[in-house]
Amino acid sequence: MEAPLIRFPTGPTVNRVSSVGFLNEVLIDYYRTVMQARDRGQLIAYVFDGFPTEILWAMNIVPVFPQKYSGMYVTQSARPGCSSGVDIFNFIEGQAGYSQDICASARASVAMALYNDELERFGNPLWSMPKPDLLISANNICDTVAMYAKEIVKRYDIPAFCLDTPYIFGDPDPNAIRYIVRQVRELIEFLETISGQRLDRDRLVEAWINSARATVFWSQTLDLAARRPSPTCGLDITNHLLPFIMLRGTEGAAHYYRTLKAEVEERVRTGVAALPNERHRILWDIDPVYHRINYFGQRLARYGAVVVGILYTYVTALELSTAPPASTDPDEVIEGLARVIYTFHLNRDLDNRLRLVAHMVKKFGVDAMVINTNRGCKACSGLLYEVNHAVRERHGIPVLTIDCDVLDPRFFSEGQIETRVDAFLETLD
Amino acid sequence: MSEILERLYGVAADPIPYLRSWKAVGRKIIGWVCTYVPEELVHAAGMLPARVFGDQTPLSLADHRLPPFMCTYVKEILESGLRGDYDFLDGIVFAYMCDPIKDLSDIWARNVRPMPRENVVVPVKMNTAATRDYFVGELERFRARVEAIAGAPITPAALRASIDVYNRHRAAFRRLYALRAERPEVVRVADIWAILRSSMVMPKEEHTALLEPLVDELAGVTRHDGKGRGPRLFVTGNLCDHPPLLGLIEECGGVVVSDDLCTGTRYFDGPGIDPDAPNPLASIADFYLNKPACAVKCNYQIADRGEFIAARARATGADGVIFLLVKFCSPQNFEYPLARDVLRREGIPHILLEYEWNERGSGQMQTRLSAFIETL
């Protein structure tokens, strides 16, 4: 099966990392694995950001992320013969009765999951998404996931597991950790029943070690943006998050991040910068605007501004930071996984968020911040005005707030955004 | 109007002076947001649990703290907090429910006059043994916090007594709703509003002492004005606390026979709590885990809310269902397509109406409602 290349945003001004070619190889390889899964007798599980794929890879079950498929569908839609990335939203609102006020990623994911055949009419720019054999949702990134997963489960009538991750106000709660450990064990039993095979505990340990390696390489890569000038642009590096979410636990993911890190290190050594005339270093909270990655990269570059850190990308690399070191004891691995799921930064309160922002401001030598409130995202964006107030008070750096839906291009007003971004950047000079 | 109703209307119309009068006589008052807050524990500690309402004033302060796409219900609660309406509280408790409420909790804690703030982190799935054990543990943690605020331990006898008080109050409400379904002409939506809203701030034993005779009184009323005889409607959604908006349904010729709202059955419906259970907290946990679920809850293994709504509508003899949603409510909006399809399949007519917490019902809403009711 011929899988089309993904066109990652590029720009004349932003000097992006060349591992992007390798990224395409890795992702196409993943896509082949997905499309051949049924022939190989492998089950396909729908899962969502924040879910640890280690367990699935260890059990030879192939994870498919509707969020990632739909994200790529929208961002790749600007190809000849394809829709502009708007049809998917018009369709799901008209056909399925979804409100345009809810998360765009959720709307597009449901559209991909349930109406793939109809979407083909618009000219699918990238990959078809296979139907699921089972679904697992974890609510550590938001409650939204569990809500729209209900619709997918109901319509396909497939087995499903809800991994419930109580939100953390203040410090992690031992009672909640016990709850999640117990659920991870139940999840393993659930998967064993459906697949008819026992979890190979050695493979779980192996996946965990691969995962720890990938995390270290990934976080070290992101940390290199602290150098001046920054070797990478955060908006560009966000593309490289995909294998981390979809393939974590595989040897391929560990190898991928080792390669990426080597390339960025080489840039530091030879003095290659993302932006040769870097004058301003921007922190971006929380997601980039996925359908305009290139646009923002170039717009900022005109003023010598480079994004050195993106909160959403950065927290993924911190996922394993609270876990015990790579362990060879399967029971410890299960506890470690539970802890990783639970303490994920999006599952934590405002104080934690502000500590994280403070850490990034300092670490990356940030002198301005862009906050994008994402219309559909109540979980991450609801706190952004507070982040804005706190950053100004505590760090004394200027903050620009913009309102763009990160996926739905209908809620993006280029003229308005341009005026605001330009005015803001002019004041920095 | 009966004397009892008049009294309840008085409290409902102006709950803050009412609460201040309790404060003046030395009662500690704990605000709560969301009907999953286990009030029994606050009551057992000798404090008065009181729902924090957002009113319908134009927003000014809250708009600087919450982005435009958050629901106006959450914003109005914050607005009242920022304005200082609730400065007299001895503490506030949020139930972790949807994403906006957890955001609200943190924003309240940072910006409203400092007061003890607690979160009861309610599980998302409700139906496993692991969930129950977790939630009992969470209630134990919460009990300790409540005791700290009260400055005294909750004795087993006090907890038993509070459970009895709440059981009896909920039973009185179930009688009221049974009467409403049977004879909606004697239980109008404005009355339900006054009764429910006052119950959320008054001490439950006091409210029960009024509610029980009131139900008897209403059962004895006969109406000859022909009102309350139109198509029978079941209202489902997040919550609605506005008599003019609900009154619109009656004005358009409909009769509300029951509801599935946080300002309705979801406040009091659920299994009785066993006061003599070996661990009363487990029994309290069972009430909250088994009461009619908020749309944010995720139970893949049990019947969904669409089926629940259809069953309730059938059981109360409704001719149609109104989905009445505060705009920007993700849980309800996600639930709607599924629930709508169940109603279609079951042949139950339905309509979706969205509103902002601070609006009073538009002309457009009236037109749509009238048209819907006429078709029934």
Identity of the residue in A166, A178, A382 whose CB atom sits nearest the CB atom of B67? A382
Q: Which of B104, B96, B119, B116 is nearest to B73 (CA)?
A: B104
Q: Which of residues 349-378 of A touch B (CB under 8 A)?
A: 349-351, 373, 375-376, 378
Q: Identify which of B99, B340, B354 has the shortest CB distance to residue A379.
A: B99
Q: Are strands A280-285 and A368-373 parallel, antiparallel or unpaired?
A: parallel
- Measured CA to CA, the distance from residue A15 to residue A263 in angstroms comes to 13
**Position with higher pLDDT, B7 vs A123:** B7
Is a pLDDT exceeding 90 seen at residue B358? no
pLDDT at residue B357 is higher than 90: no
Minimal CA separation from B110 to chain A, in Å: 9
Which member of A137, A146, A386 has the closest CB to residue B110? Answer: A386
Per-residue pLDDT tens over the stretch B208-248: 999 999 999 999 988 877 777 899 999 999 988 888 888 89
Mutate to test the interface with B, among A46, A98, A150, A399 (most CBs of B within 10 A): A150
Q: Which residue of A has its CA nearest to B67?
A: A382
pLDDT tens digits for range B156-196: 999 999 999 999 999 999 999 999 999 999 999 999 999 99
Band the pLDDT of B301: cuts 50, 70, 90. low
> A101 contacts in B (CB within 8 Å)?
69, 327-328, 330, 333
A320: DSSP letter: G
Task: Report the predicted TM-score, pTM, of the whole model to 2 decimal places.
Answer: 0.95
**Percent of chain B with pLDDT strictly greater than 90:** 84
How far is the alpha carbon of A364 from chain B, nearest alpha carbon, in Å?
27
In this complex, which of B67, B131, B337 lies closest to A96 when CB atoms are compared? B337
Interface check for A404 against chain B (CB to CB < 8 A): the answer is no
- Report the top-level CATH class of B15-154: alpha beta
**pLDDT of B259:** 97
Nearest to B338 among A150, A161, A173 (CB): A150
Q: Which residue ranges make up each domain of chain B?
A: 15-154, 222-375
A101 touches chain B (CB under 8 A): yes
Contacts of B293 in chain A (CB under 8 A): none
The per-residue pLDDT for A12 is 42
Q: Rounded distance, CA B24 to CA B373, Å?
A: 48
Mind telling me how many Å the CA of B107 is from chain A's nearest CA?
7
By the CB < 8 Å criterion, does A379 face chain B?
yes
Preferred mutation among A93, A115, A147 to probe B, highest tally of B CBs within 10 A: A147
What does the DSSP assignment read for A187-228? HHHHHHHHHSS---HHHHHHHHHHHHHHHHHHHHHHHGGGSS
| Closest-CA distance of chain A to residue B336, Å | 8
What values do phi and psi take at A134, rounded to 5?
-160, 170
Exposure string of A395-423, with b = 16+ CB inside 10 Å and e = fewer, is beebbbbbbbbbbbbebbeeeebeebbee
Burial class (CB in 10 A: 0-12, 13-18, 19+), B217: middle
Q: Which residues pair with B48 in a beta bridge?
A: B29
- Between residues B277 and A80, the one the model is more confident about: B277
Yes or no, beta carbons of B121 and A96 under 8 Å apart: no
User: Measured between alpha carbons, how far is residue A317 from residues A251, A309, A314, A408, B372 in Å?
Assistant: 17, 12, 5, 26, 53
- CA closest to A92 among chain B residues: B337
Instruction: Judge: B141–A373 Cβ closer than 8 Å, yes or no.
Output: no
Region of B230 please: left (phi>0), alpha (psi -120 to 50) or beta.
Answer: beta
159-178 of A, contacting B, C-beta below 8 A: 160-162, 164-167, 169, 173, 175-176, 178
What's the CATH fold of domain B222-375? Rossmann fold (3.40.50)
B303 vs B70, residue with greater confidence: B70
**Shortest CA distance from A155: residue in chain B:** B338
Question: In the A/B pair of chains, how many CB contacts fall below 8 A?
Answer: 150
Torsion-angle region of residue B232: left (phi > 0), alpha (psi -120 to 50) or beta? beta
Domain definitions of chain A by residue range? 20-428
Residues of A in contact with B67 (CB under 8 A): 373, 381-382, 384-385, 403
A53 CA: distance to closest CA in chain B (Å): 21
Kindly determine whether residue A385 and residue B65, on different chains, have CB atoms separated by under 8 Å. Answer: yes
**Tokens standing for residue A117:** 């055949």
Residue A324 confidence (pLDDT): 52
Q: What is the pLDDT along chain A (429 residues), one digit of tens a residue?
A: 456 666 665 544 566 677 778 888 898 999 999 999 999 999 999 999 888 899 999 999 999 999 999 888 888 876 666 667 788 898 889 888 888 889 999 999 999 999 888 887 777 777 789 999 999 999 999 988 988 898 899 889 999 999 999 999 999 999 999 999 999 999 999 999 999 999 999 999 999 999 989 999 999 999 999 999 999 999 989 889 999 999 989 999 999 999 999 999 999 999 999 998 999 999 999 899 998 888 899 999 999 999 999 999 998 877 655 455 667 889 999 998 999 899 998 999 999 999 999 999 999 999 999 999 998 898 889 999 999 999 999 999 999 999 999 999 888 888 999 999 999 999 998
Task: Give the minimum alpha-carbon distance from B49 to chain A in angstroms, rounded to a whole number.
Answer: 22
